[in-house]
Amino acid sequence: MRSLVRLSCRFNGHDLRPLSLAHRLPVQKRHQSSFARINGRRKRIVVAVTGATGSPLAVTLLKRLQELKVETHLIMSKWGGATLKYELEAPSNTALYLESLASVTHSSLDVSASLSSGSFRTDGMIIVPCSMKTLAGIRMGYDNDLIVRAASVTLKERRRLVLVARETPLTSIYLENMLEVTKAGAVVFPPVMAFYTRPSSIDDMVQQSVMRMIDLLDLGVIDGDMEDEARWSGFDWAGKRKQNT
């Protein structure tokens, strides 16, 4: 048994344990909840963060999934961490803070992680934000890190994959990549601002986008806190918005 344990931590003579943070992070307490469950277990979502702009979206999404008692598996690229530090204020701009919002953390370099196999059951994956490099890797099936590998697994297992693609303007190369991953089953979700909600702050726009992401992950929950303010309900012709019913 000991030899099997040693073998599982080594590959071609290299010790793989330093590549993953998961082995040294404490297992967070698993709360009981009626939210986001399937067949008696908590829903399990992979959340990947890459180096495109949009760190507030990742932080807000992880907070909301934590509130919904969803089991989250976080993967963050090197440049995802750098962008996080640049875009947010302390203490919310560190990798450790982001990891504290997730149930489990994996190194992006650890392609031996559980997420690399379709036998590890998940209920979907979201890459937020998704860089154009990551998009290209997914389109080509170039599984050179755990983020792209986990996305490939999500596609091949016919699970929900949401790519919060953040770039503008878009070249024909980017558009072709988006088309091909959509054909493969992914959902491309550019975080486009919705002005019909009459947002009064950046946070309002972030919250509305995150609500839509949760919808796309098909968690079986309705984000009631945001429902009245952030969901379109049509016009009445007296010039006022209809109330949700």
Q: Show binding-site residues for FMN.
A: 51-53, 77, 131-134, 166
- Based on the number of CB atoms within 10 Å of its own CB, is 217 exposed (0-12), middle (13-18) or buried (19 or more)? buried
- Based on the number of CB atoms within 10 Å of its own CB, is 157 exposed (0-12), middle (13-18) or buried (19 or more)? middle
Closest to 163 in 3D by CA, of 126, 132, 137: 126
Q: Identify the residue whose tokens are 């996080």.
A: 84
Q: What are the binding residues?
A: 51-53, 77, 131-134, 166, 196, 212
177 close to 142: Cβ distance less than 8 angstroms: no
204 close to 181: Cβ distance less than 8 angstroms: no
The CA distance from 98 to 200, in Å, is 26
Q: What are the binding residues for dimethylallyl phosphate?
A: 196, 212
| Beta bridge partner(s), residue 106 | 75
- CA angle in degrees (0–180, nearest 5) for 56-141-124: 50
